[in-house]
Amino acid sequence: MAEPLLRIEGLTKRFGGVIPSDHISLDIPDGELHAVIGPNGAGKTTLIGQLAGETAPDSGQIRFSGADITHLPTWRRSQLGLARSFQITSLFPDFTALDNVALAVQAHAGHSFRFWGDARRDARLRAPAQAALDRVGLGDRADILVSNLSHGEHRQLEIAMALATRPRMLLLDEPMAGMSPEQSAGMVRTLRELKQELTILLIEHDMEAVFALADRITVLVYGRAIASGSPDAIRANSEVREAYLGEQQVVAHG
Amino acid sequence: MIAAPNARNLLVPALLAFLLLLPVYTSLSGNTFLLTLFTRILILALAATSLNLILGYGGMVSFGHAAYLGIGGYAIGILASEGVTSGFVQWPIALAVSALAALVIGLLCLRTRGLYFIMITLAFAQMIYYVGAGLARYGGDDGLTIQRRSQFGGWLNLSNKTMFYYLCLALLLATIYLVWRLVNSRFGMVIQGARSNERRMRSIGFPTFRYRLTCFVIAGTLCGLSGALLANHTDFVSPAMMYWTRSGDLIVMVVLGGMASTFGPLIGAVALLVLEEALSGITEYWQIILGPLLLLVVLFARRGIDGLLDVSIFPRLSPAKALEAKVGRG
């Protein structure tokens, strides 16, 4: 059988006495929406940081699309088709929404040692950027400065930018954080469409959204993947219930 | 874009017209002092424009930009003292040496951020300052007098004050145009994106270092051009050209005029040097007046003079901005 799109093997990261990633192994096949859940401090964001290349793991391996990417810089992973969105909105506030997405398009349209033509009038950048904005429902907000957009719109823009890099896989770090219920519902719709064509690793606290969207779920507690399986299996798993109900027991466990 | 009727769109053309016509006035009135002053202003405005490229647009606060003034200037001075006076040889060498210096300095400095970047660029500039002071063969601390300005055959005569003034003006305007094209190109988007959020730039797939380094080298080269002009203007080069206070002056020009604005560095250079000239005529302690003025600009006009000019003269005529301000927050 072919190797899964993303393969994580024995990934370990220590910060002093804290071990946010403790021998995590995970396979995510092409086309799956895989959710990672767990209490605060379980190491979810550290895991994304290592996958995206911002945090160097102490040991273990990350393979993407058959190649070892454990030591590749962030920008090269993006070029390979691994896109991420940030938990805390990370945009270009003094640019418009369209400028932001156009920049993401530009990053994947060959090198940028082009010194003369006006990038804001370049249809090869603007058209795909507008399409990505339309996709997440921000099409009519294209010319608004990012600093004037609402929090919910920032979250949508995060997704649009990740999409504009034409990725094979999305790493989404709490895309619904701080959203109103209506906005969350809109985001669930967007993600449901996206999962038709993309592999997605989703970190999210909104359990309703997670169980509605995920093909498989991994539960992370104190850096360890304590369970991995279908939403139904996770719901029924006693260890998971313990983790969420009484954390002391889990400490004793690990 | 159609020019909105704001103060900037009146002042900038007025300033350019003034600069274009100044030699006419000075030749009629015989006031060569004014021509000399403004030649100097244009040259330093060119240096400030080059600094604005990295500081204003790129967010790279170099506190050692005057080093390239010195390197460009010394290239001219040293070649002249060795008997090479052809501008066609001198100038390309001045630019190449400046570019090379910027490449080496950038390779090391651009790995640092924030205060460390400021300090390490300052350290490099001071190092080069002391190298200049140690060049005993070329005057050391006392500097080096240039006997003959760069020769451009029959094309240009740099000893002709008016012709030299217009050369400086042409090169300044060409540099402003170049920087304007540059910052709006794909390359410029990367530079500005990296100023705003470098982490995100890497995560969407940009190897930011190579773009920032290229930008740093372009700025250093342009400043080297300014140094070559300055050496020809004063017929003299000395380590003082690249002392850290000169780097500070360039930063002041950019901040005063308006960071990341097209004509800001020119406006800042004119404002600073004219003020300096006028105030020093009034009192020996002119810095006591200039200091608080700068403080006010930094505190209350974050976008410098250029930002202050961005006020509509006929507010009713530009509804687009008002509209955006109203509906912007969704």
ipTM of this complex prediction, to 2 decimal places: 0.89
Q: Is the pLDDT of residue B325 over 60?
A: no
Q: Which residues of A touch B217 (CB under 8 A)?
A: none
Q: Which of A93, A107, A153 sits opposite B206 (nearest CB)?
A: A107
- Dist CA A45 CA B94 (whole Å): 50
Taking the C-alpha atoms of residue B46 and residue B216, their distance in angstroms, rounded to an integer, is 15
Among candidate residues A189, A222, A180, A218, the one with its CA nearest the CA of residue A201:
A218
CB–CB contacts below 8 A, A to B: 110
* pLDDT score, position A2: 75
Q: Do B330 and A141 touch (CB under 8 A)?
A: yes
Cα separation, A108 vs A127, whole angstroms: 14
User: What is the reported pLDDT for B3?
Assistant: 53
Q: Looking at residues B106-127, what average pLDDT do you find?
A: 96
Q: CB neighbours (10 Å) of residue B154?
A: 6
CA-to-CA distance for B232 and B169, rounded, in angstroms?
Answer: 14
Residue A155: partners with Cβ closer than 8 Å, 6 or more residues away = A89, A175, A176, A177, A178, A179, A183, A187
Token reading at B114 = 């924030």
Which residue has better confidence, B264 or B330?
Answer: B264
Rg of chain B on CA atoms, in Å:
20
Whether the CB-CB separation of A223 and A20 falls below 8 Å is answered with yes
Shortest alpha-carbon distance between residue A86 and chain B (Å): 9
Residue type, B30: G
Instruction: Determine contact, residues A178/A186, Cβ cutoff 8 Å.
Output: no
Cα–Cα nearest to B43, from B19, B25, B18: B19
Give the integer Cα–Cα distance in Å for B205 and B28.
59
Domain borders along chain A are 1-81+167-254, 93-166
Burial class (CB in 10 A: 0-12, 13-18, 19+), A157: buried
pLDDT at B83: 94
Which of B242, B250, B225 has the alpha carbon at shortest distance from B76?
B225
What is the per-residue pLDDT for A127?
96
Q: Which residues of chain A carry a pLDDT beneath 70?
A: 1, 245-254
Cα–Cα distance, A19 to B127 (Å, whole number): 45
Indicate the range of A107-116, B2-11, B189-198, B300-309 predicted with least confidence. B2-11
CATH superfamily of the domain spanning A1-81+167-254: P-loop containing nucleotide triphosphate hydrolases (3.40.50.300)
Alpha-carbon separation of residue B33 from B39, B45, B301 (angstroms): 10, 18, 32
| Residue B313 predicted with pLDDT over 80 | no
In a mutational test of the B interface, the residue from A75, A166, A172 whose CB has the highest number of chain B CBs within 10 Å is: A75
Distance from CA of B203 to the nearest CA of A (A): 6
Q: The whole model's pTM is what?
A: 0.90
In which band, very low, low, confident or very high, does the pLDDT at B1 lie, cut at 50, 70 and 90? very low
- HSE-up (13 A, CA, CB side) for residue B112: 15
On chain A, the residues whose CB falls within 8 A of the CB of B177 are none
Backbone angles phi, psi at A230, to 5 degrees: -70, 160
* B91-129 exposure pattern, b = at least 16 Cβ within 10 A, e = fewer: bebbbebbbebbeebbeebbeeeeeebbebbbebbbebb
Q: Which residue has the higher pLDDT, B42 or A86?
A: B42
Query: Mean per-residue pLDDT for B143-169?
Result: 94
Amino acid at A90: S
Among A78, A122, A125, whose Cβ lies nearest the Cβ of B203? A78
**Helices A151-164 & A97-107, crossing angle to 10 degrees?**
20
Q: What pLDDT, on a 0 to 100 scale, did the predictor assign at position A1?
A: 55
Instruction: Give me the mean pLDDT over the B23-51 stretch.
Output: 95
Contact A108 B208 (CB under 8 A): no
Residues of B in Cβ contact (< 8 Å) with A156:
none
What is the maximal distance between C-alpha atoms in chain A?
63
Confidence class for position B314, pLDDT limits 50, 70, 90:
low
Task: Give the distance from CA A105 to its chain's centroid.
Answer: 18
Out of A75, A92, A114, name the one closest to residue B186 (CB): A114
The CA distance from B81 to B132, in Å, is 15
- List CB contacts (< 8 A) between A122 and chain B: 186
Residue B299 has pLDDT above 90, yes or no: no
Nearest to B209 by CA among A247, A163, A76, A68: A76
Q: Name the interface residues of B facing A (CB cutoff 8 Å).
A: 181-182, 184-190, 192-193, 196-197, 199-208, 211, 214, 324, 328-330
With an 8 Å Cβ cutoff, are A153 and B329 in contact? no
Nearest to B211 by CA among A75, A197, A132, A212: A75
Q: Which residue among A76, A113, A161 places its CB closest to the CB of B204?
A: A161
pLDDT at B330 exceeding the cut of 80:
no
Orientation of helix B161-184 relative to helix B32-52, angle to 10°: 20
